[in-house]
Chains A and B, each alone.
Chain A
Amino acid sequence: MITRLEDKELKRQSRRQLLKLAPVAVLGVFAFPKVSGRLVSAGVRFSDWASGGLFRSQHLAQTFSDSDVVPFEKFPYNGYDVLDPEVDLEKWTLTVEGDVRHPGEYKLEQIQALAKISQNTRHVCVEGWDVVGSFGGARIADFLALVGANTGARFLEVECVDDYYESIDMASVLHPQSLLCYEMYGQPLDRKHGAPLRLQMPTKLGYKQAKYLDTIRVTNVLKPDKTGYWEDQGYSWFGGL
């Protein structure tokens, strides 16, 4: 639609319309590193909040047939400091703390005595690769029932023999595919994949699925700046798929 205006009027209209764009300039704050760091952290917290809302506690992650599983030697492992923290498998126990009726030390046999779940699921790394693997273990939910945990609490904190640490929202912990994993490909978990016990959760990214478990704690509060090894450096805390 062409109109004919006086030059001055066109300039006036143009200026007025230009000023209406001013709110977009707010995005300019992202150009300042001091502010942008805080803003993008807030962006991740918002994403985590939305992720919590999107999470469906009974919705199962895709499972695969044995023919879709990659060979064991092609299942990658990422260590964060040492590839083998040299856990003494004979003496190993899982320490249970926090909001539970029966805190204390639990042997691997007690976990293996719970109903065993075997599942072929996709393991997704935050780096972008993914691989379908075969896992076996006990539902975390079953173990929490065994130790009399208050599953109304908000978080499960875990600490590892290699000093790695994590914390996970209770809804994801109680998901039926969330395992205390002691087997891969039908064999006891090997030292590179977190022997003797690791978390295996197909609804979480790899870095949430801590290996070499040492202590688990049921709690309602997380220590600030101690919510997870990578999370404390900037990764998404929810880390959910």
Chain B
Amino acid sequence: MADEENNEERNEEKKEDAAPPPEAETAAKADAVESTEAKLETEPTEPPLAPPVTEEEEPALVRAAYEHPLPIRITHWVNAISLFVMVTSGLRIFRAFPSFGAKIPENILLDIPKSLTLGGWLGGALQWHFTFMWIFAVSGVVYVAYQVVSGHYKTMLFMPRDLAGVWPMARHYFLFGPKPAATGQYNPLQKLAYTSTIAFGVLSLLTGIVLFKPAQFSWLAFLFGGFHLTRLWHFTAMCGFLAFIPGHLIMVVLHGWANFYSMLSGWKREPEYQE
């Protein structure tokens, strides 16, 4: 808690620094950035050209972090679009046989409103599904490969040591408990959520392969308990995504523009954490 209060104080100090009068902003040179820190130290020793405006010439500094490298941002948005298409067209496909049991007799599990689906009919939905499954698969593989190769995964992969931090974070979000101090780019609950989506992605891809080619990939079908059961696992993976997406979107709204914009530009202005 003490740490957090300090952070907030420091943030506020920075914000004051970062709001100079417009004249100073226009006067500042872009190339000043590399040497900003050095300048801060040397500034007081420099002979002031016009003593009354010394403070205004001090470059305005903003704390920022390049959080999301380009491959992560591209795959994030391609995945987001693909997931939207895969879920809505998938629900349309599911409407053709909304059950996991036998065809005779057929127990209708749920009647999904047509308005929530894409494709217009089974064949149309299959076209969307068969198109975007390739886009989703490629994007997913590129995403995971980049995470692994770049080492970027260390910021988001949920590890056993994160386990202890999940409950305090959940308590903060859902029960208005105290806010745990931010220690890195993502808190333990975020890491759990993001890591889970990778698991859902892997599950949806592998089960999708079985549903697409159960005879050619009979060994994979066997691992999932056969073709019939695989359909249930495929649906389960979608439920996982459906559990993640609303929470993710609510958090994006709650955390405001700077946070959302970082997934577009990579740069996070005034991140909560230190380092």
Contact = CB atoms under 8 A, between A and B. Distances in A.
Given A14-B265, A43-B131, A125 B33 contact: no
A13 B62 CA distance: 13
Nearest to A76: B103
Interface of B: 18, 25, 28, 30, 32-33, 36-37, 59-66, 70, 73-74, 77-78, 81, 85, 93-94, 96-97, 99, 102-104, 106, 121-124, 126-128, 130-135, 212-216, 218, 221, 227-228, 231, 261, 264-267, 269, 271, 273-275
A56 B128 contact: no
Contact of B131 (A12, A44, A122, A125): A44
A9 B74 contact: no
Nearest to A74: B104
A207 to B, nearest CB: 10
Contacts of B265: 13-15, 17-18
Nearest to B19: A7
Given A1-B66, A8-B30, A47-B131, 15 more contacts: A1-B65, A4-B36, A6-B36, A8-B25, A8-B60, A10-B62, A27-B81, A39-B131, A40-B127, A40-B130, A43-B131, A44-B127, A129-B103, A202-B215, A234-B127
A12 B65 CA distance: 14
Contacts of B70: 17, 20-21
A23 interface: yes
B62 A6 contact: yes
B267 A13 contact: yes
Contacts of A24: 74, 77-78, 81
Interface in A40-62: 40-44, 46-47, 51, 54-56, 59, 61-62
Contacts of A194: none
B18 A7 contact: yes
B269 A126 contact: no
Contacts of A9: 30, 32-33
Nearest to A56: B216
Nearest to A48: B130
B96 A127 contact: yes
Interface of A: 1-10, 12-15, 17-18, 20-21, 23-24, 27, 30, 39-44, 46-47, 51, 54-56, 59, 61-62, 70, 73-76, 122, 124-131, 202-203, 230, 233-236, 240-241
Interface centre among A43, A59, A62, A73 (most CB of B within 10 A): A43
A241 B74 CA distance: 32
A51 B213 contact: yes
30 contacts: A5-B64, A6-B62, A10-B62, A13-B265, A14-B261, A17-B266, A20-B70, A21-B264, A39-B131, A40-B124, A40-B127, A40-B131, A43-B131, A43-B134, A44-B126, A47-B130, A54-B213, A54-B216, A56-B216, A59-B215, A70-B102, A74-B102, A76-B103, A126-B96, A130-B228, A203-B215, A234-B127, A235-B126, A241-B213, A241-B215
Contacts of B28: 6, 8
Contacts of B269: 10
Contacts of A75: 104
A196 to B, nearest CB: 24
Nearest to B20: A7
Contact of B64 (A10, A23, A74): A10
